[in-house]
Amino acid sequence: MIIPHIEALIFASDKPLAVTDIVELLNNAMAFIEDRASEEQVEAGINAIVEKYDAEFYPFGLVESGGGWQFLTKPEYHSTIAQLNGDKYLKKLSVASIETLSIIAYKQPVTKSEIELIRGVNCDYAVQKLLEKELVVISGRKEEAVGKPLLYSTSKNFMDYFGLNSADDLPKIKEVLNQEIVEATKVQREEEEAEAEVAVKDENEEKQTGDSREEKRLDEEKPEF
């Protein structure tokens, strides 16, 4: 039964484990067994473990992320465990860092000058912060460019942090823009409806004020007997 061994390996690993890695580790550990573990067996074992931890009384589950499998806390418990490590766990980023990271993610590998051309401002500080947080890495040099500038790409930590297995898992730009348009339209509609309600309310109040004034005028004009 290799399932407990697969579970133990993934649990003990400090990084996501790919199926090929698990197969190799299993076969090294159980070399005395005639039948060597295959990728199909490991994948079947992983599916069984995923199903096991899908039960709602487990606060964590087995997730494919960062190019391999690892145990991760379920989203509904993130705010609870964030208290243990504060900002380090949350990895808060400034707007400039988020913009820079987005450009690197979609344009990688990319140079600083290419990032700055898109953002329109200097990005030295933002890139340095992303390197410190290990969300991006220096992936080489642009040999054909003058001065052979450094190239930046997203790291395995980036993939792990955002639950991605490759850059192909990133939302398509068109999808992101469409969502922004939908949200903007929704907000605009809500604002227009709110303005219409205020206008109607003001109109009713003005009408009531006018009626009150007219009634007062008529009362004052009544002949006295």
**Region 3-77: CATH code:** 1.10.10.10
Least reliable range by pLDDT among 11-15, 44-48, 96-100, 180-184: 180-184
Burial of 92 per CB tally in 10 Å (0-12, 13-18, 19+): exposed
More confident residue, 206 or 148: 148
The DSSP bridge partners found for residue 152 are: 110, 138
Q: What phi-psi label fits residue 148: left (phi over 0), alpha (psi between -120 and 50 degrees) or beta?
A: left
Q: Given this chain, do its domains 3-77 and 91-169 carry the same CATH topology?
A: yes
DSSP 3-state of 17? strand
Write out pLDDT tens, residues 167-221: 677 776 555 444 443 444 444 555 556 666 666 666 666 666 655 655 555 555 5
Decide which of 3.40.640.10, 1.10.10.10, 1.20.1250.20, 1.20.190.20 is the CATH code for 91-169.
Answer: 1.10.10.10
More confident residue, 143 or 167: 143
* In the chain, where the domains are located: 3-77, 91-169, 172-225
189 alpha-carbon distance from chain centroid: 27
DSSP code of residue 110: B
More confident residue, 214 or 50: 50
Distance separating the N- and C-terminal Cα atoms of the chain? 110
Task: Output the pLDDT for position 168.
Answer: 72
Write out pLDDT tens, residues 15-32: 889 999 999 998 888 765
pTM above 0.85, yes or no: no
Write out pLDDT tens, residues 101-129: 888 988 889 999 999 988 888 999 999 98
